[in-house]
Copies of this chain bind each other. A is one copy, B any other.
Amino acid sequence: MNTAHLGLPVDVPSTALFTDRYELTMLQAALRAGTADRRTVFEVFTRRLPEGRRYGVVAGTGRVLDAVENFRFDRGVLDFLADQRIVDEATLQWLADYRFRGDIWGYPEGEVYFPGSPIMRVEGSFGEAVLLETVILSILNHDSAVAAAASRMSVAAAGRPLIEMGARRTHELSAVASARAAYVGGFSSTSDLAAGFRYKIPTVGTSAHAFTLLHDTERDAFTAQVDSLGSGTTLLVDTFDVVEAVRTAVEVAGTELGAVRIDSGDLLLLAHRVRHQLDELGAKKTKIVVTSDLDEYAIASLAAAPVDAYGVGTQLVTGSGHPTCSMVYKLVARAGSDDPAAPLRPVAKKSMGAKTSIGGRKWAARRLDEDGVAEAEVVGSGPVPEGLADRQLLVELVRGGKVVAREPLDAARDRHVAARSALPLSATQLSRGEAVIPTEYVVG
């Protein structure tokens, strides 16, 4: 299947090629060795949070479900694999019938996580589970990085709306996923139309400096915008002189002017001055939107300023210094033999240095103290201790290849607020710190 005629910027016919080549070569070797059907358990987890971060945010789960459903090797893909001699004929035949028929459990989207949290668990034959490594990690590593930044910004904004404006700073489709992840992390809207189209996220946007410069005077530009978009629009007031622009804006739009946007300069100072001027002009309800290389620290520094909304771009879509998470997808258990009934047994790479992992199919639960505040992420591979059974974190996402956990994006967004609220208060400090609760391993 060739999608070039659809005008997409990439011509990739299904999610099956969002795959590292070694997954297919491993499949081929395992098919030949007779080990591809062994039952396996793979888990997604991270060994550490980005330096200084106190919690992580699971995002992308819904996109993983889309990707798994659409992970099929159609004729175009198979031809490519054959032409390039990436796999042999027997493997091509196996791939032609491929669909994931196993089970996936995971932390629900919006949940918080910590080092060692088994964020997602994929169970199936080696052949079917090994192929999903790259696409699952791509999605979770990217989206969770953006959601974590969004969550911190959302804390800093303390209830004021946050607008996602980062599309121009990242890959055009990464931008769409970033808007989605930002929404999960607490943003209210996006400038990105594709994100509005695909995920129904509210879109916003009015004008740029180019619009003012197109016209012969700033007054002409403001008049054109108000004529077209109404007095409730947001006028950009920092193209020339802010004081003059604010005066002109109110003259043109009246005191019902929706908002003014400031995109450069000392935002703290300007917000106070502009608020004062707007009030003097009688535009007491006119809001002030600020945009200009904001991050969570800049947002926090404006907490006492008369700002009504923040637009955030670069620092959001690049994860505010941490553009990816370090999640890995590791085989943690497999059948002890080729016998389909063989029990699973834990496996793990014998560590050299930092790349430790713990074998075994794991559960996780968040233990609360007597006040209902989280005090530990408890992870184990044996029976779940009494008292934690109803605090388990993994939910069923895919059963026998069928997605069973679709939900609206707002569910993830609400879940994130609830999960974050149950963490100790220091979770939301912006300063560098350790994971806000420890991860405890219960050996089964």
Query: Which residues from chain A sit less than 8 Å from chain B, CB to CB?
Result: 1, 3, 6-15, 17-26, 28-33, 35, 38, 40, 42, 63, 66-67, 69-72, 77, 80-81, 84, 86, 88, 126, 130, 133-135, 137-139, 141-143, 165, 167-177, 191-194, 196-198, 203-211, 213-216, 220, 223-225, 227-229, 238-242, 263-266, 314, 317-318, 323-324, 326, 329-331, 334, 337, 347-355
- The closest CB in chain B to the CB of A350 belongs to B240
CB-CB under 8 A from A9, the residues of chain B are 15, 18, 63, 66-67, 70, 139, 173
Instruction: Give A176's nearest chain B residue, CB to CB.
Output: B10
Decide: A220 and B33 in contact? CB cutoff 8 A. Answer: yes
How far is the CB of A2 from the nearest CB of chain B, in Å?
A: 10
Q: Is the CB of A17 within 8 A of B215?
A: no
- Among B11, B176, B225, contact of A29 (Cβ-Cβ < 8 Å): B225
Which residue of chain B is the closest to A332 with respect to CB atoms?
B213
- Give chain B residues whose Cβ lies under 8 Å from the Cβ of A238: 349, 352
Instruction: Give A135 to B25 CA distance when docked, in angstroms.
Output: 36
A265 cross-chain contacts in B, Cβ below 8 A: 352-353
A169 to B324, Cβ gap below 8 A?
Answer: yes
Report the copy number of this chain in the oligomer. Answer: 2
Q: Which residues of B contact A176 (CB under 8 A)?
A: 10, 12, 18
Do B352 and A264 touch across chains, with their CB atoms under 8 A apart?
yes
| A15–B214 CB distance below 8 A | no
- The answer to whether B70 and A8 touch across the interface, beta carbons within 8 angstroms, is yes
Within 8 Å CB of A25, what residues of B? 205-207, 225, 228-229
| CB-based contact A197/B20 at 8 Å | no
Give the Cβ gap from A363 to chain B, nearest Cβ, in Å.
Answer: 21
Of all chain B residues, the one with the shortest Cβ separation from A63 is B9
Nearest 7 A-B pairs (CB), nearest first? A21-B205, A7-B70, A22-B205, A33-B224, A137-B168, A29-B228, A171-B174
